[in-house]
Amino acid sequence: MSDYSVIAELGDSLVSVLFSELNADPQISGLIDSEDRISLESPADLENNNSVRLSMYLYRIVENPYMKNRFPIEGTGGKQRKPPLTLDLYYLLTPLVGTPREQQIVLGKTMQILYDRTILESADLSGSLGASGEEIRLILNPVSLEELTRVWQALEIPYRLSVCYIARVVIVDSQQQQFGPPIVYRKVTYGTFQPQG
């Protein structure tokens, strides 16, 4: 069962997974030597922070359209519960290290990690998200330069090298109970039509 904290828990889980993989690479470990070097804050908030090397900014949340019409699920006391809210989370990954070459190295390694770890499972996830048994799929989101530019304009800082990812599907359980037992079966009768005549 996933509660409303899953959005924050996914951010923490992504930081943890990325740090463990980045720190294991000798070429990157000197640049990102602690989890504090990876931040969930926007690049605009980190503009004067020289200690952060990678920003993973959650800039958009959308209800997943493919899982919208799910059936109610079993609740307590013979009641049903509303189906869970299913979300797609959009992240902007921006390397913030010094030289353009270092930025490209950090971004390339980060993309390699997310390509190799496309599905995050219970062991990778923290809190109620890890206990839920759900999987989170990480997908490179090939947004157009125009859309990416709009994100940077909203941040009100100059464009920087960055890529976008979608985390799909994050499930937030509903607490609303619905009355009435579930429909167990439907009775349908049919017969043949005899024309008169």
Q: Based on the structure, what is the number of domains in the chain? A: 1
**Comparison of pLDDT for 20 and 133, the residue scoring more:** 20
Residue 193 lies in a domain: no
DSSP label of 188? -
Is 58 a domain residue? yes
- CA–CA separation, 113 vs 168, rounded Å? 17
pLDDT, tens digit, for every residue of 18-43? 999 999 999 888 888 889 999 999 99
Q: What are the E-state strand segments in 43-114?
A: 54-63, 73-74, 80-81, 85-95
The tens digit of pLDDT for each residue in 71-114 reads 666 656 666 777 788 899 999 999 997 789 989 999 999 999 99
pLDDT of residue 25: 92
Average pLDDT over residues 134-159: 91
Greater pLDDT, 122 or 179: 122
Residue 196 in domain:
no
Q: Which residues contact 72 (CB under 8 A, 6 or more apart)?
A: 80, 81, 82, 83, 178, 182
Position 15 in a domain: yes
Q: Is residue 65 in a domain?
A: yes
Of 2, 101, 96, 117, which Cα lies nearest the Cα of 50? 96
Q: Is 194 part of a structural domain of the chain?
A: no
Residue 45 confidence (pLDDT):
93
The pLDDT tens digits of the residues spanning 47-66 come to: 888 888 999 999 999 998 88
Domain annotation covers residue 186 = no
- Does 104 fall in a domain? yes
| pLDDT at res. 71 | 66
Q: Residue 61's domain spans which residues?
A: 6-178
Percent of the chain with pLDDT over 90: 48
